[in-house]
Structures are given as structure tokens and as C-alpha cells.
Structure 1
Amino acid sequence: MAQYFEVHPENPQQRLLKQAVTLLERGDIVAVPTDSSYALACHLDDKDAVDQLRRIRQVDEKHHLTLLCRDLSELANYARVDNKQYRLLKAATPGPYTFLLEATKEVPRRVSHPQRKTIGLRVPDHKVLLELLSLHGAPLLATTLIAPGETEALNDAQTIRERFEKQIAAVIDAGACPSQPTTVVDLTPMGSGDDPVVVRQGRGALAVLGL
């Protein structure tokens, strides 16, 4: 059965988050709360964990996985960002946005889009998740927790545990999430002077991006 870490949403218990980090670092999958919905997260550099993440969601390598970062300083290691892109990123982070950017060589080939060589990146505005990322000391790879065959993200930690207890190692329960997906914006056209492209309008307001 998956472990269940019930944490305070504003002052999460460090000892519980450290236990979750230990699971992530040994290659396990953990369900984590975000500022949009619950997500499945794993260690970026663990191929088996990444494969398991895709199996749980039943998505192939063309499905964009997302790097959860603590702040913009981490983005530069994993994505090529020019000044215009950076200004837009700075205006919208932390927040419920996912940005598609050109991946650097630091991103393992198996987690970037196989044809476009892009990666989804985001800096969440969620106290518990940011604390978890800080304790981990590096970005985590994640995907929205949508059960196979469904379209809505799961938002109840107990339900997640019951449905995925044999596939994941733990659930971090910090209460209900907003249950609305992130706004996804493709910034790669900006590299050739074009405008960013809104792939999906979600919780993040487009006005913040000037779109």
C-alpha cells in the first residue's frame, strides 16, 4: 500500500517531506499537490521511474512531461531561454503555467519530445511542493494525475491512494488542489521572432503574459 503523508498546507512537516524525498531518490513515484491539480512526480535521471510514470498515465514518449523547478535559476540548466522569453517567464512565475521550451543537453533525451526536442517547464506556486523541491535539491519530472481513460485530474488524495496504491509509493496530502489544469504556452516560436502560442488555456490568466 502506498504511504500517506498528511501535511499542513502552509507549514508542511519537514520529516514527512524528507521521507517522500527518500522515496523519490530511490526511484519511486509520488503523487504531489500543485497549484493546479495533483501530479505524479519522479526523479529526473531515473529511466525506470520515467517509464513507470508513462505506464501509469498510459502515455507515450510524445506526451510532454514537465520539469517542476523551484525557481527560474534552475530553468537555464534545462532550457534555452533568450531575453524576451525570460521576461515573460519572470512575469508568470511562480504560478499555474507550463512553458514549452527548447531543451538543453542537460535534459535526458528520453524525457524531451522525440521530434521537437522540447520540454515542459514550470515553477509552481504551492508551498508544500516548493518545500519538497527544495529538500530534493533539483527539479522533479511530473505529469498531471489523470487516470487512464479519463479527462479530469484527480483532486482527492484518499481517492488517489485507493486507485493507485499498487503503482505509486506515496501520496502527499496537503488538502484539495484547485482542480484546474495549467495554462500551457509554447515559447519556442519566440526564438525565431514569432509570438508565443497558447496550447491550452487553463488556470493561469493570459493577461499576465500579455496575450
Structure 2
Amino acid sequence: MAEFIKIYEENPNPKAIEKVVDVLKRGGLIIYPTDTVYGLGCDISNIKALEKVARIKQVKLEKSNFSFICHDLSHLSDYVKQIDTSTFKVLKRALPGPYTFILPGSKNLPHPFKKKKTVGIRVPDNKIALEIVKKLGHPIISTSIRDEDEVIEYTTDPELILEKWDNLVDVVIDGGYGDNNPSTVIDMSEDPVIIVREGKGSLEVL
């Protein structure tokens, strides 16, 4: 049974954040709000937890396209090869915000992702998600909880999410209604830049 924790975005309760971080540190899975759709996440450094997420999403972990949720751009150099100034300026302009940037992966990627040439980086404009990552001290991996039976729709109501995911995850955070418009995905790993998916984020940042 998942624990249902109410956290207010305007003022995330430190005790509640601490509770979620403890679950992550123990290898637990969480569903949490972002500035777009609700996400399923776990600690990036916990292989068992990563494998659980991959199983739920029915993908091979080393082939998965999970995003790394970062607190800010200071973690970038841990996971991303050096990027040029113009790319960095775009990231600075767009983040935090509803974007996923695909960037060239560095040699320091966590073990399961070692062979990946690129990595999806996300800094959502949502205090709950950012506080969790900040307190944990490193990124969480994330994948959106799209409903398989409804091709376009995302579940936006945390109580419905709890009903559906109760036996699969350890915590569902109620951070209010989610959005059902996903992040804009921009591949900046090569030239020219490719818009992989147009979502909530405006393309004017480019």
C-alpha cells in the first residue's frame, strides 16, 4: 500500500519532504508532481529501484529513456559532456521550466546508463520536486505516468493516481491537480537541434 502524502507547492513542509527522501534512500518508488504531468521516480543511484521502474514501464533499463530530474544546473557536469556556451544559455533561459533537454551523456553516468550516448535533463518549475531532489543530494530518475488505456490523457487527480498505483509504488504525493500537457523535449545533443515533442514549454527559448 502506498502512503499518500499531501504537500503544498507554495510551501512544501520540510518534514513531509524528509519522509519522501527517506523512502527514496531506501530504494522506494514515488509518484510526485512536476510543472507538467505527474512523474514516477526513484533515486538515480539505486540500481534495484531503477530496475523496478523499468519493469513497471516494461522497458530494458539500459535502453530506457528516463529523464534525470535535477535541482539546478550545478549537477550538469556530473552527467553531461561539456556543452557549448550557446547551449548553456538556452538551458539557463528555459530552466526551471517544462522542458526536457537531451544532451550528450558523460562517462560518469550511473552504471545502468553507461552505454547511453545522451541523457534527458529536466529541472521542473515545481517546488515539491525541486525540494525532494535538493534534500536527496542528487537527481531522481523520472518517467511520466501516462495511462496505457487512454492514449493521450494523463491522470491529473492524485487520488485517482493513488487508486491505480497503490500496489506499485511506496509513496504518492498529493501536490494538487497535475497538468496533462507533458514537457517539451528538445534534443541538443547534435547540430541542428531537434524538437522531439512539442509540449507545454514554448519553443521561443531556442
The alignment partner of 1:135 has SS state of helix
1:205 aligns with 2:202: yes
Alignment coverage as a number of residue pairs: 203
TM normalised by structure 2 equals 0.93
Aligned to 1:16: 16
Aligned to 1:83: 85
The alignment partner of 2:37 has SS state of coil
Deviating more after overlay: 74-83 vs 38-47: 74-83
> Which residue of 110, 131, 141 corresponds with 1:108?
110
Query: Structure 1 residues 32 and 141, CA, compared in 2 at 3 Å: closer, same or farther?
Result: same
Aligned to 1:45: 45
Runs of 5+ unmatched residues, structure 2: none
Deviation per residue, 1:153-201 (Å, 9 max, x gap): 2221111111111110001111012221000011011xxxx22100000
Deviation per residue, 1:111-161 (Å, 9 max, x gap): 36x5x5211101110011111111111111111112345433222111111
1:180 corresponds to which letter in structure 2? N
The alignment partner of 1:77 has SS state of helix
Query: Structure 1 residues 170 and 109, CA, compared in 2 at 3 Å: closer, same or farther?
Result: same
Deviation per residue, 1:64-89 (Å, 9 max, x gap): 10000011111121111222211111
Runs of 5+ unmatched residues, structure 1: none
Counterparts of 1:16 and 1:137, CA distance in 2: 16
RMSD, matched Cα: 1.5
The alignment partner of 2:173 has SS state of strand
Deviating more after overlay: 150-159 vs 69-78: 150-159
Check conservation: 1:27, 1:48, Cα contact below 8 A: yes
TM normalised by structure 1 equals 0.91
Deviation per residue, 1:8-62 (Å, 9 max, x gap): 1210111111101000001010001000110001011111111111122223343
Within-5 A mapping of 1:125-164: 125-151=125-151, 152-164=153-165
Counterparts of 2:147 and 2:45, CA distance in 1: 24
Counterparts of 1:67 and 1:94, CA distance in 2: 13
Counterparts of 2:198 and 2:149, CA distance in 1: 21
Counterparts of 2:49 and 2:101, CA distance in 1: 23
